[in-house]
């Protein structure tokens, strides 16, 4: 695997995934694509505009790059999806279908992230097993469950080497998040460093799984490189690093910024989404099948986030 197309490359995950893949496989081996231009196209490296809902454009980009692997990251996330459900379905399902079809024809492997949003209110919330009830009540969650199943189908029916994880909320400092329910866990660090205070749109004790971006990127590449013989759950590995609440994040931040204060102005839409998701997922299948292990806990992540955000000021 050394010719890679990344979709959604200008996003929170994509911007860091592209960097990591280029470090590993070479700058020109990794073609970044997105429907919007990345922040600084001149410095971003090889980039082509691509709308993943256009099957001909997806096929042309994969063929012209002679790609043998697609990291498919283009998506509409949970909160944005609830304000535009039709668009969320078109991008998340249409885009994945187009990528899997090209992968089938061109012999590519495919990495597609699912999410803790693939679970719903009837799922056991703590711990959430690897294989369990999945009845999400957001359009984003519905597309994630369907995407897991479609990816499994393309593997079983057509032999496409499709793999994926259920990311928890991802925390990072390079590119802001794109409209998810877990965005508070990123915003809190930006606001703590910039203003010493944050108004949170989720309630103080809302507990969700989270992970620092370097772990998410490393784990995703490790999954794509592991011997497929060891994989049973190919497209939907639960993956987590820590469980946080707004209050525990605030306490970790106060270790570095003692004067930091947090207030609450709960958004009922995003609170309802968060309340429908797990409080703690069980990622033992990922640990057993491909050796997943996070490096960052809450304290280590907080120290690194604050150091990087301070350095940028």
Of the candidates 208, 309, 312, 197, the one whose C-alpha atom is nearest the C-alpha of residue 263 is 197
CB of 255 to ligand NAD, least distance (A): 24
Mask for 72-101, x = binds ligand SER (CB under 6 A):
-----xx-----------------------
Could you please report the per-residue DSSP string of 236-299?
Answer: -EE--SEEE-HHHHHHHHHTT-TT-EEEE---HHHHHHHHTS-SSB--HHHHHHH-------HH
Name which of ligand NAD, ligand SER, none residue 124 binds, using a CB cut-off of 5 to 8 Å depending on partner kind. none
Nearer to ligand NAD, 146 or 257 (CB): 146
- Which of 17, 117, 216, 224 contacts ligand SER by CB under 6 A? 117
Q: At what angle do helices 184-195 and 298-311 cross, to 10 degrees?
A: 50
8 A C-beta contact, residue 88 and residue 140: yes
- Per CB under 6 A, contacts with ligand SER among 236-295 are none
**C-alpha distances out from residue 268 to 33, 80, 203, 273, 274, Å:** 34, 14, 10, 9, 10
Q: Write the binding mask 168 to 207 for ligand SER: x where contact by CB under 6 A, - elsewhere.
A: -x----------xxx-------------------------
Number of residues binding to ligand SER, judged by CB under 6 A: 10
Active-site annotation, residues: 140
Site of interaction with ligand NAD (CB under 6 A): 7-8, 10-14, 34-36, 50-53, 73-75, 77, 91, 95, 113, 115, 167, 169-170, 177-180, 182
Query: For residues 13 and 306, which CB has a smaller minimum distance to ligand SER in the complex?
Result: 13
Q: Cα separations (Å) of 183 from 78, 164, 170, 176? A: 10, 22, 8, 8
Three-state SS for 36? coil
Q: HEC string of 103-135?
A: HHHHCCEEECCEEHHHCCCCCCCCCECCCCCCC
Residue 63 binds which of ligand SER, ligand NAD, none (CB < 5-8 A, kind-dependent): none
Dmax over CA atoms of the chain, in Å, equals 57
| Minimum CB distance to ligand NAD, residue 35 (Å) | 4
Of 129-158, which residues contact ligand SER (CB under 6 A)? 140
Q: Across the strands, what pairs with 128?
A: 281
We find the least distance from the C-beta atom of residue 78 to ligand SER, in angstroms, to be: 3
What minimum distance in Å lies between the beta carbon of 140 and ligand SER? 6
Stretch that binds ligand SER, among 46-54, 111-119, 153-161, 246-254 (CB under 6 A): 111-119
DSSP state of 38: -
Residue 16: Cβ within 10 Å count: 20
- Picked from ligand NAD, ligand SER, none, the partner binding residue 70 (CB below 5 to 8 A depending on kind) is none
Per the CB < 8 A criterion, the answer to whether 217 and 17 are in contact is: yes
Distance CA 230, CA 14 (A): 27
Of 62 and 216, the one with the shorter C-beta distance to ligand SER is: 216
Provide the minimum distance between the beta carbon of 167 and ligand NAD in the complex, in angstroms, as a whole number: 3
Residue 213 lies near ligand SER (rule: CB under 6 A): no
Residues binding ligand SER (CB under 6 A)? 77-78, 115-117, 140, 169, 180-182
């Amino acid at each position: 695997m050394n010719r890679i197309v990344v979709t959604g490359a200008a996003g929170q995950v994509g911007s860091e995934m592209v960097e990591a893949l280029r470090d590993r496989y070479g700058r020109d081996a990794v073609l970044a694509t997105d429907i919007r231009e990345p922040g600084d196209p001149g410095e971003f490296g090889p980039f082509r505009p691509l709308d993943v809902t256009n099957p001909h454009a997806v096929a042309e980009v994969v063929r012209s790059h002679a790609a043998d692997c697609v990291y498919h990251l283009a998506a509409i996330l949970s909160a944005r999806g609830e304000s535009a459900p039709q668009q969320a379905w078109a991008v998340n399902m249409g885009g994945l279908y187009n990528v899997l079809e090209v992968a089938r024809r061109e012999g590519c492997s495919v990495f597609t992230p699912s999410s803790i949003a693939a679970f719903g209110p009837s799922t056991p919330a703590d711990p959430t097993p690897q294989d369990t009830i999945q009845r999400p009540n957001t359009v984003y969650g519905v597309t994630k469950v369907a995407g897991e199943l479609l990816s499994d189908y393309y593997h079983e029916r057509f032999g496409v080497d499709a793999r994926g994880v259920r990311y928890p909320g991802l925390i990072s400092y390079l590119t802001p998040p794109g409209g998810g329910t877990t965005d508070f866990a990123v915003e809190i660090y930006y606001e703590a460093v910039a203003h010493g205070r944050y108004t949170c749109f989720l309630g103080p004790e809302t507990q969700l799984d989270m992970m620092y971006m370097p772990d998410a990127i490393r784990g995703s590449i490790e999954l794509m490189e592991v011997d497929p013989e060891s994989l049973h759950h190919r497209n939907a590995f639960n993956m987590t690093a820590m469980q946080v609440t707004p209050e525990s994040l605030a306490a970790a931040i106060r270790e570095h910024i003692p004067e930091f204060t947090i207030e609450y102005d709960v958004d009922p839409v995003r609170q309802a989404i968060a309340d429908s998701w797990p409080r703690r997922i069980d990622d033992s299948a990922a640990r057993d099948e491909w050796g997943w292990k996070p490096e960052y806990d809450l304290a280590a992540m907080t120290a690194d986030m604050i150091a990087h955000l301070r350095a940028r000021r």
